[in-house]
Amino acid sequence: MPTQAAPTRTLARHTGSMRAWVIACASALGTCASFPALAQVERPAFDRVNIVVPQSRVLVRPGHVQPVSIREVGANVSIREQVASTTLTIILANASGSPQEAQIILPVPDGSTVRSFEMEGMPNEGQAQILARDEARRIYEDIVRSMRDPGLVEFAGMNLIKTSVFPIAAGGTQKIRLTYEQILSADGNRVDYVLPRTESLERSGISWSIKVDVTSKSPIAAFYSPSHELVVERKAPGSATIAATTAADPGSFRLSYITEKSPGNGVSASLMAYPDPKVAEQGGYMLLIAGVPELPADRPTLKREVIVVIDRSGSMRGEKMDQAKAAALQVIEALDDGEAFNIIDYSDTIASFSDKPVVKNAETIAKVREYIANIKAVGGTNIHDALVEALRQQPVGDATTTIPLVLFLTDGLPTVGERREVAIREAAAKANAHKRRIFTFGVGVDVNAPLLSVLAQNSRATSTFVLPNEDVEVKVGQVFKRLSGPVLAEPKLIVMGDDGTSAPAGALRDILPAALPDLFEGDQLVLLSQYTSSKPLRLAIEGNYLGKPRRFEFSFTFDHASTTNGFVPRLWASRKIAVLIDSIRQATADAGLTTSNSSVIASDPKMKELVDEIVRLSTEFGILTEYTAFLAAESGAIAGAPIAPATIDASGRTASISRELRDDYSRYSQAQVSESLAKRAAGDRAGAGGVNQSINLGKQVQQARVNARNEWVDADLNAVQTASIKQVADQTLYCKDGVWMDARIYNIAETKTSRTIEFASDEYFALVSRLAKEGRQGMLAERADCLLMVDSELLLVKGPGT
């Protein structure tokens, strides 16, 4: 190992015209790579080269246009027993008419070391080196000052790799490949990986791909990402390939996997925690992940019993009917031999293939094909009787070895028999003595969306809406595919005391979901809750595991609770908001509230309490729904409407907040939400405006990853998102009249006047360092001014301007 030396500024020339910047210094592990003889040169000014941050963008001086852009970034990660090797393949494009040089600034986690650096078309390997934190900080500050660009601020406190690429041919592209390695941290049986990336919503035009190969000696029970949606391909009990299907979404890519502690243990679990004294003095928020590793093919199984309920009313005539019949046959043929099924079809009247479920075999399959082929669409829609008939049927199998499922399809509102929403859901609850899971499918938009949602939610199932121009067979097939291989039925969470018995109420509160869903093969449970004490926590999950009662016990501590787990309270808040909105929606069934009588919600004490909590959580955590869309208003779009509880003076040098401003904004917010909930949540129950709400709430109530873009589906079934709200770590910023405002100012009661901090001043970088210790430095990564609360002090942090 080379002797550690003090940092020296050097420049190495690479054969074939490649030039690599190197600052030879100690890495975070105290080691240096070996380099050929280097000649002393003067370092060029940062503003005379293209500063490329692959995880973010090309930094540009105000008023300048840089010719080099990032066209594509691909991350291929290999994790072997906690050792991660990350290879970034970066394609740079040069739009100018002359060759360009790009200086690469690559923020990396602590403990990383460079393994290789290559530039396509060059015969030899290039050079790059990790700079330790102190030297990295100096580089960050130099670039921010000289470029007048805060883009690197969000990576403050991290080590970095610095190198230079030359030439990037005029009008051409250059591919570079850099690999770094690190030893990943572990918390018990959970291993965590982070790929640092920008939180900015404006990183457009860069194509990202992320793929991870994981290999572990121990079987892997679950993979989880709070940041991006994953597709997991399991290759063996201890190996899998993971792809991030939403790699273009902003934010660092986070991946955790949980290994089985001992062979045959069954369910494995891990806990992530975020401390917050607002919850309790020693409390905060926690996220529990539980899963089951790949099971052997010869394991005992829970058999499925499926009743498919088909709407054959006249409105189903044509393509919808053909697709529904094909979906029913697809489901039944996908059952394993020995599993059971039945078909119920309904319009004004109810009919069925059999008076009770039958076991799948060659004879019953042949008969049911003929039965399905003869179903004709005619008549009205008797949802009540069809539901009761499906739920009352006696299961064929033993309750301990069978999981009973209902797939309920309808394309319309109830028109025959009982039509009241509350009466239908109460009848379903009373008839469901066998605890059948009711998976509902609304075909088209002329359905009672909240009714279908609550039928599913109350039975540990999910609702699905087949939108116009979507295929019924495909949607049903997608849901049923996830219902293969039942592993744990009717799971229940138990909080235990030190003696192993149930603990007194209050150790955990607001557990979401309140009722755990069944666990199928390849599934995982993601549970969120508040905790009220930092004492060690003992939990148990019990249920019907592969046909036998089982209890799985876990012990956790909060030693690793950290504000870097800012996604935990945000996910909890998102689910809680959905539960509160749905409570209003269900409580107003059959009421027919409209905008004209929105005062009913505002004047009812219970309703007002729900509204106040929706406003508080939405504002604090920056979670936008269609009912709180006014939070995204960047200026006074409504005459006289307050857009924030703060004002900036005409000079832009001083900000102030006061009780009067806060109270005005609070009253306005509550009125806006009450009116929106009355008109939409209570009033719109069918049509596109009813379906979109159920789609949004269905996603939100089981949300397991952050929604950084605050995306939802509007009443016209179009995707909507906003860039005026920024979620940074555990904090939220709102863009108001060109100033980013800290959500914490919305709860300040006393009058405050700001202190001003100039961009790139010593005081500015001291604040960056302070925020970096809390993982919140990204709050200063925007060009606009920022109004922040830091240690109860109101700070107006000036941006670099234009």
Instruction: Dump the DSSP string for 29-77.
Output: TS--------B--PPPPGGGSEEE-TTS-EE--TT---SEEEEEEEEEE
**CB hemisphere CA count around 304 (13 angstroms):** 26
Helices (H), 131-228: 133-147
Contact criterion met (CB below 8 Å) for 380 and 415: yes
The set of residues, in sequence order, having a beta carbon less than 8 Å from that of 103 and lying 6+ positions away, is: 21, 46, 49, 50, 51, 52, 162, 163, 164, 165
Q: Alpha carbon 232 to chain centroid distance?
A: 16
Query: What does the DSSP 8-state code read for residue 299?
Result: S
The torsion angle over the Cα atoms of residues 412, 416, 420 and 426, rounded to 10 degrees, is: -100
**Are the beta carbons of 443 and 377 closer than 8 angstroms?**
no
Q: How many whole angstroms separate alpha carbon 802 and alpha carbon 13? A: 36
**CA pair distance 392, 449, nearest whole angstrom:** 23
The edge-to-edge listing of strands for the beta sheet with 739-742 is: 725-728, 731-736, 739-742, 785-790, 793-797, 755-757
- Is the CA virtual torsion 703, 705, 710, 714 positive or negative? negative
Tokens of 327: 């979906």
Backbone φ and ψ for 115, nearest 5 degrees, come out as -100, -40
Distance in angstroms (rounded) separating the CA atoms of residues 74 and 212:
11
The full length of the chain comes to 802
Question: Which one, of 795, 759, 789, lies nearest residue 774 by Cα?
Answer: 789
391: tokens are 């739920």
> Residues with Cβ < 8 Å from 474, sequence gap 6 or more?
none
Percent helix, strand and coil across the chain, each to the nearest 5: 25, 35, 40
Residue recorded with tokens 């007194």: 504
Identity of residue 125 = E
Segments of the chain with pLDDT less than 70: 1-48, 61-64, 123-126, 201-205, 499-505, 591-600, 602, 636-641, 802
- Phi then psi for residue 770, to 5 deg, are -60, -50
Strand-pairing partners, residue 191, are 186, 257
Q: Tell me which DSSP letter residue 87 carries.
A: E
DSSP-derived pairing of the beta strands 755-757 and 358-359: unpaired
Q: Which residues are bridge partners to 11 per DSSP?
A: 21, 39
Using CA of residue 139, residue 784, residue 574, residue 413, what is the dihedral sign? negative
> 107 with 155: CB under 8 angstroms?
yes
Question: Are 467 and 708 contacting, i.e. CB atoms less than 8 angstroms apart?
Answer: no
How many CB atoms neighbour CB 591 within 10 A? 15
pLDDT computed for residue 802 by the predictor: 53
Per-residue model confidence (pLDDT) at position 14: 34
Give the integer Cα–Cα distance in Å for 771 and 539. 34
Spatial distance between the Cα atoms of 557 and 537, rounded to a whole number of angstroms: 6
Q: What is the CA radius of gyration of the chain?
A: 29
In sequence order, which residues have a C-beta less than 8 Å from that of residue 249 and are 6 or more positions away?
A: 227, 228, 708, 709
CA distance 792 to 744: 10
Question: Residue 485: what pLDDT?
Answer: 78
Instruction: Quote the pLDDT of residue 125.
Output: 63
Nearest to 285 by CA among 575, 624, 701: 575
